[in-house]
Structure 1
Amino acid sequence: MSSTRPVFIAGQWREARNPVGTFQAVDPSTGQALEGSYPISGKEDVYEAITTAHQAAEVLSSTSPEQIAVFLEQFAELIEANRVALVESAHRETGLPKEPRLNSTELPRTSNQLRLGAQAAREGSWTNPVIDTKRNIRSYHAPLGAPVVVFGPNNFPFAFNAVAGGDFTAALVARNPVIAKANPGHPGTTRLLAELASQALQSVSLPAGTFQLLYHFPNELALELVSHPRIGATGFTGSRPAGLALKAAADRAGKPIYLELSSVNPIFILPGALEERLEALANEFATSCLMGTGQFCTNPGLVALPGGTQSETFVQRVAALFQEKAPGVLLNERTSTGLQESLKTLTAHGAELLTGGTPVEGQGFRFNNTLLRVSGEQFLHESEALQTEAFGPVSLFVVAENERQTVEIAHHLEGNLTGAIYSHTGSADETLYQSLEPVLRQRVGRLLNDKMPTGVEVSPAMQHGGPFPSTGHAGFTSVGIPASISRFTVLQSYDNVRPSRLPRELQDENPTHAWRLIDGTWTRDAIAAPQHA
């Protein structure tokens, strides 16, 4: 029997102490357990990680941004140098294709995130310094002075990993230690990333508790962790029930927690767009919805269509494409059972199954590509149930009777990460667009025109967040530096504090060379010394 993999606590790889159990990763393409077991940590490991991270937090708060930047850059280099092993591990644990998904898309995105984090650490404008020289009041966004807990999701083994992903990067740029909780779906990949991160850590003068890795722990310990007095904040990407349970615990303790939960990412296809380019739209939609077996948080899970022959042709064309495309591999068995539960809810509230709707028999975890439809009237009667997320290769067509009902459908939408409107390239749909857009705009974090929402660019202008229940707070994003960093900071103000006692970011000389708002003007210049006669 294979040995249990070590955890990474206090700068050391060691055996878990008094674990409450073990688990194994599963190859979703075969349904077979993979070699190696991983500990389910008990209180001893969790509380040692908290203590170590708390000790590291004070050191990191005063650490040079250059040290953080060097760590992130060296980690990025190690990821790229070890891409073969990382891609192979992620492929076995998630079933996601090596090319182009893991090797050519997600891994480069991950190393790029780390390098962008390094740039932000050096440049320092994420601290948003504000200086009022007349009143001698100064403020900036400072480190929390406490650890950040990061829960990684199952569908992005690199880019959103608890070690190396966006939350990890943002927390460290803000100079906070990270307690990383691996996703049980890809513990081996997370372990490999943590080994590379620990190598990078050895080459810079950062404390041992800068980051730590636990693979799994009981639910009750997760609640204790996010609400612990020594924890500064939590970043979570995952299911709505799990996220809301963690949020309730964190809220009771007054601890910030940033959640990415569920989203159906509505698409509105207006009449002129269908008339103009129906075939292209059908192909574009099918490609987006079935990409990665539909296991994206930005997967288009609800499509509003105008009634009429064009829509019927569109529905038939998409159904044929779904039937032609071979079902892909799901991340795990739970994804398959979750799809069955979601479809049961959708059909019980009036959705008609057009194609798919069942698991694929045989080895591994696959689900037939699935389309449903419902009338606009029925959607308005059962809008809450008919927005149940089906995480996988599934989408629901909502067919509106008229333009008024199309806008009313938008009024009944919950908060989503994204929303898209496809319209005529000329002005044929402009009147409807102008009625629809203000309604949809308030219900999505990112609004798209004539573009599917599946891709999430690592851009400073990106909003990968949205109104509840897509996230816990519409004012924050988990993708996009520097905005994502602000989640793991605290706003601190200095009133008439002596110059020698100010943090570097607020000193007259501006040694960081960051952009600062001085007396209402953004500048990188130093504050000029007063002139005396």
Structure 2
Amino acid sequence: MSIPTTPQVTSPVPAAMAPADVEAVARAAQQAAPALAALPPRARAAALRAVADALGSHADELVGLAAAETHLADARLRGELNRTQVQLRLFARTIEAGDYLDVRLDAADPGFVLGPRPDLRRTLWPVGPVLNFAASNFPFAFSVAGGDTVAALAAGCPVVVKAHPGHPGLSRRVAALVTEALTAAGLPAGTFALVEGDDAGRALLAHPAVRAAAFTGSTRVGRLLADAAAARPDPIPFYGELGSLNPVLVTPAALAERGEEIARGWVASVSGSAGQLCTKPGFLLVPEGHGLEGVVAEAAAAVAEHPLLNPRVGAGYVARRDAVLGTDGVTVLAEGAVATDDDGTVRATPTLVATDLEALRAHRDPVLEETFGPFAVLVTYPAGTDLGAVVGELFAGELTATVHRGSGESGELAGLLGTLGRHAGRVLVDGWPTGVAVTPAMQHGGPWPATTSDGTSVGTAAIGRFLRGVTYQDAPQDALPAPLQDGNPWGVPQARSGVGESAHW
């Protein structure tokens, strides 16, 4: 099957940026930062909605570009584009409400229990220009106009996106639409820019104008960037979403009640988008003697071949697959197929293997590493195994951890769920981790190496990564930022501590 050629688009930036161009982008973002921060939330909300509208009105064009460059299916891409629009509108609503500013006003109190208290007013303020390294596997939702970009813009920070080389034409077109929408909405020049090339990304990460960075990608590259951010003369926060194995635990009761259903659900979750999802359930732990070999093989055989995102991803998948298949104690449940086209594109069907707990402990280095693609491992455990202890022993920080329970199991799982919560950012019961709801309560981030910080890159809490607290003491009203003024011109929630309250503590 031939790969469609990439449609021609007009790029708002050159394919590679000279140092002078990078400097101009950084300085423009720095100059825009104060004006953007001073805009009322409703103005930024209107701009985010304008971006959502622009993306929606060009949906057919954008999906066509994305399909040509990433090989992802039309339905998947349209759903992701819709998710991206929903993210924009959700963050618009969030900043209009104003709670994200966490405004606290403590009135001057000469009778304060610890001694006279001055007038103190605290809010969260934008950190300044943010550098966003776009991801390959979500060309809309984690790319140019994706979650990190939206969260930073919502916080009031200018954004410079380093485009992913896996979908350059799409990145340029989306950047042009975003720039046009933000400009038309009245946001200051320099609020948004796109750069291309690793050199530009590294230069911006080191530039003093950049005050925070976000990344979604491999553990190796993420660690390099995180170390570079920390090694600056003025270290900056680096929010990286890196690798995750996302273990799924099946209790004996769950296996007895619906083992076949669980096995089919696992294969479907592993195979979605050819396994190129950060929440893919890479390890399924089931009791010994499960008898699911045939069900897994049958379900995997029904999955159609799918091209991987790009040759680099494909080569990495082949190497990891071969390494695990060549490990002692690993047996094949569904061998899958791998084929490489002349242009380096890898096409694959799911490969699913099995091992036992003892073998996994003995060969943890080659096996306990993320395999990005349609590959996963079923691990059997003996009766009486403490599943919480296994997670603590073998799995480091994860984006997700899941338990499938029997119908009579509830309260007795509290200890296990508590353990999973210490090792993962999202704990699921009787579900599958692929499919991340874009909603206020979502946590998409976990302990290292799932992420480099305890933040989330999905959901409205993601705004907090790009804000910092500032308190003003005894400042005159007409010199205070708008959200801290008694007149409250932005109309945001203000938590007030009055005079004399401490006497009743």
What TM-score do you get using the length of structure 1 for normalisation?
A: 0.86
Distance of 1:245 and 1:357 partners within structure 2 = 33
Q: 1:379 to 1:501 in 2, by over 3 A?
A: same
Distance of 1:357 and 1:50 partners within structure 2 = 47
Q: 1:170 aligns with which of 132, 143, 151?
A: 151
Q: 1:494 to 1:315 in 2, by over 3 A?
A: farther
Q: 1:51 aligns with which of 27, 30, 33?
A: 27
User: Counterpart in 1 of 2:90?
Assistant: 116
User: Counterpart in 2 of 1:242?
Assistant: 221
Distance of 1:249 and 1:361 partners within structure 2 = 35
Distance of 1:357 and 1:342 partners within structure 2 = 14
Q: 1:270 to 1:231 in 2, by over 3 A?
A: same
Give the C-alpha shift of residue 58 in structure 1. Answer: 2.1
Q: 1:467 to 1:176 in 2, by over 3 A?
A: same
Could you report, residue by residue, the CA deviation over 1:416-466 in whole angstroms, capped at 9, with x for unpaired residues? 101110000223x764x3443222221100000000000101110000111
- Give the letter for the 1:508 counterpart: D
Describe the SS at the equivalent of 2:399.
strand
Describe the SS at the equivalent of 2:15.
strand
Describe the SS at the equivalent of 2:346.
coil
Kindly indicate whether the alpha-carbon contact (under 8 Å) linking 1:327 and 1:366 is maintained by their aligned counterparts in 2. yes
Q: 1:404 aligns with which of 385, 401, 404?
A: 385
Kindly indicate whether the alpha-carbon contact (under 8 Å) linking 1:182 and 1:214 is maintained by their aligned counterparts in 2. yes
Give the C-alpha shift of residue 386 in structure 1. Answer: 2.5
Q: 1:177 to 1:186 in 2, by over 3 A?
A: same
Kindly indicate whether the alpha-carbon contact (under 8 Å) linking 2:151 and 2:462 is maintained by their aligned counterparts in 1. yes
Give the C-alpha shift of residue 514 in structure 1. Answer: 2.3
Q: 1:419 to 1:33 in 2, by over 3 A?
A: same
User: Counterpart in 2 of 1:96?
Assistant: 72
Kindly indicate whether the alpha-carbon contact (under 8 Å) linking 2:22 and 2:203 is maintained by their aligned counterparts in 1. no
Kindly indicate whether the alpha-carbon contact (under 8 Å) linking 2:123 and 2:483 is maintained by their aligned counterparts in 1. yes
Q: 1:224 aligns with which of 203, 210, 214?
A: 203
Give the C-alpha shift of residue 491 in structure 1. Answer: 1.0
Correspondence 1:420 to 2:402: yes
Map 1:30-49; keep pairs closer than 5 Å. Answer: 30=2, 34=6, 39-49=15-25
Describe the SS at the equivalent of 2:376.
strand
User: Counterpart in 2 of 1:180?
Assistant: 161
User: Counterpart in 1 of 2:132?
Assistant: 150
User: Counterpart in 1 of 2:503?
Assistant: none
Kindly indicate whether the alpha-carbon contact (under 8 Å) linking 1:148 and 1:177 is maintained by their aligned counterparts in 2. yes
Kindly indicate whether the alpha-carbon contact (under 8 Å) linking 2:195 and 2:201 is maintained by their aligned counterparts in 1. no
Kindly indicate whether the alpha-carbon contact (under 8 Å) linking 2:206 and 2:228 is maintained by their aligned counterparts in 1. yes
Could you report, residue by residue, the CA deviation over 1:484-512 in whole angstroms, capped at 9, with x for unpaired residues? 10111111111222222221212223333
Q: 1:301 aligns with which of 282, 289, 294?
A: 282
Give the C-alpha shift of residue 357 in structure 1. Answer: 5.8
Correspondence 1:488 to 2:466: yes
Correspondence 1:439 to 2:419: yes
Could you report, residue by residue, the CA deviation over 1:505-526 in whole angstroms, capped at 9, with x for unpaired residues? 1222333332333239xxxxxx
Describe the SS at the equivalent of 1:343.
helix
Describe the SS at the equivalent of 2:338.
coil
Could you report, residue by residue, the CA deviation over 1:379-403 in whole angstroms, capped at 9, with x for unpaired residues? 2334354220001111111111233
User: Counterpart in 2 of 1:342?
Assistant: 320
Kindly indicate whether the alpha-carbon contact (under 8 Å) linking 1:258 and 1:471 is maintained by their aligned counterparts in 2. yes
Distance of 1:419 and 1:478 partners within structure 2 = 17
Structure 1 segments unaligned to the other structure (5+ residues): 1-28, 521-526, 528-533
Could you report, residue by residue, the CA deviation over 1:326-384 in whole angstroms, capped at 9, with x for unpaired residues? 22121011122111222244345543333226522556421231111111112233435
Q: What is the percentage of aligned positions where both structures have the same residue? A: 35
Describe the SS at the equivalent of 1:446.
strand
Give the C-alpha shift of residue 252 in structure 1. Answer: 1.1
Kindly indicate whether the alpha-carbon contact (under 8 Å) linking 1:106 and 1:159 is maintained by their aligned counterparts in 2. yes
Map 1:125-144; keep pairs closer than 5 Å. Answer: 125-133=99-107, 134=109, 135=117, 136-144=119-127
Describe the SS at the equivalent of 1:404.
coil
Task: Choose 401-410 or 278-287, whichever is displaced more.
Answer: 401-410
User: Counterpart in 1 of 2:172?
Assistant: 191
RMSD value, Cα:
2.2
Distance of 1:173 and 1:248 partners within structure 2 = 27
- Give the letter for the 1:94 counterpart: T
Kindly indicate whether the alpha-carbon contact (under 8 Å) linking 2:6 and 2:65 is maintained by their aligned counterparts in 1. no
Task: Choose 129-138 or 376-385, whichever is displaced more.
Answer: 376-385
Kindly indicate whether the alpha-carbon contact (under 8 Å) linking 2:335 and 2:352 is maintained by their aligned counterparts in 1. yes
- Give the letter for the 2:148 counterpart: D
Instruction: Determine which structure has greater relative contact order: mean sequence separation of CA pairs < 8 Å that are 6+ residues apart, divided by chain length.
Output: 2
Q: 1:141 to 1:73 in 2, by over 3 A?
A: same
Distance of 1:446 and 1:435 partners within structure 2 = 16
Give the C-alpha shift of residue 184 in structure 1. Answer: 0.8
Distance of 1:284 and 1:519 partners within structure 2 = 52
Describe the SS at the equivalent of 2:306.
coil
Kindly indicate whether the alpha-carbon contact (under 8 Å) linking 1:40 and 1:217 is maintained by their aligned counterparts in 2. no
Describe the SS at the equivalent of 1:441.
helix
Describe the SS at the equivalent of 1:86.
helix
Could you report, residue by residue, the CA deviation over 1:138-180 in whole angstroms, capped at 9, with x for unpaired residues? 2111011x21001110111111112x11111111111111111
User: Counterpart in 2 of 1:63?
Assistant: 39
Distance of 1:229 and 1:288 partners within structure 2 = 42
Give the C-alpha shift of residue 224 in structure 1. Answer: 3.0
Task: Choose 342-351 or 78-87, whichever is displaced more.
Answer: 342-351
Correspondence 1:360 to 2:339: yes
Describe the SS at the equivalent of 1:492.
strand
Distance of 1:148 and 1:504 partners within structure 2 = 23
Describe the SS at the equivalent of 1:50.
helix
Give the C-alpha shift of residue 468 in structure 1. Answer: 0.5
> How many residues are aligned here?
481
Task: Choose 67-76 or 504-513, whichever is displaced more.
Answer: 504-513
Kindly indicate whether the alpha-carbon contact (under 8 Å) linking 2:264 and 2:296 is maintained by their aligned counterparts in 1. yes
Correspondence 1:161 to 2:117: no
Could you report, residue by residue, the CA deviation over 1:188-209 in whole angstroms, capped at 9, with x for unpaired residues? 1112211211221332222220
Distance of 1:211 and 1:107 partners within structure 2 = 20
Correspondence 1:470 to 2:446: no
Distance of 1:152 and 1:337 partners within structure 2 = 20
Map 1:198-347; keep pairs closer than 5 Å. Answer: 198-218=179-199, 221-253=200-232, 254-308=235-289, 311=290, 313-347=291-325
User: Counterpart in 1 of 2:502?
Assistant: none
Q: 1:305 to 1:503 in 2, by over 3 A?
A: same
User: Counterpart in 1 of 2:114?
Assistant: none
Give the C-alpha shift of residue 92 in structure 1. Answer: 0.9
Q: 1:438 to 1:32 in 2, by over 3 A?
A: same
Kindly indicate whether the alpha-carbon contact (under 8 Å) linking 1:273 and 1:424 is maintained by their aligned counterparts in 2. yes
- Give the letter for the 2:423 counterpart: R
Q: 1:430 to 1:376 in 2, by over 3 A?
A: farther
Kindly indicate whether the alpha-carbon contact (under 8 Å) linking 2:135 and 2:216 is maintained by their aligned counterparts in 1. yes
- Give the letter for the 2:296 counterpart: V
Distance of 2:402 and 2:105 partners within structure 1 = 40
Distance of 1:415 and 1:33 partners within structure 2 = 40
Give the C-alpha shift of residue 33 in structure 1. Answer: 6.0
- Give the letter for the 2:204 counterpart: L
Describe the SS at the equivalent of 1:360.
strand
Kindly indicate whether the alpha-carbon contact (under 8 Å) linking 2:3 and 2:68 is maintained by their aligned counterparts in 1. no
- Give the letter for the 1:252 counterpart: A
Give the C-alpha shift of residue 216 in structure 1. Answer: 2.1
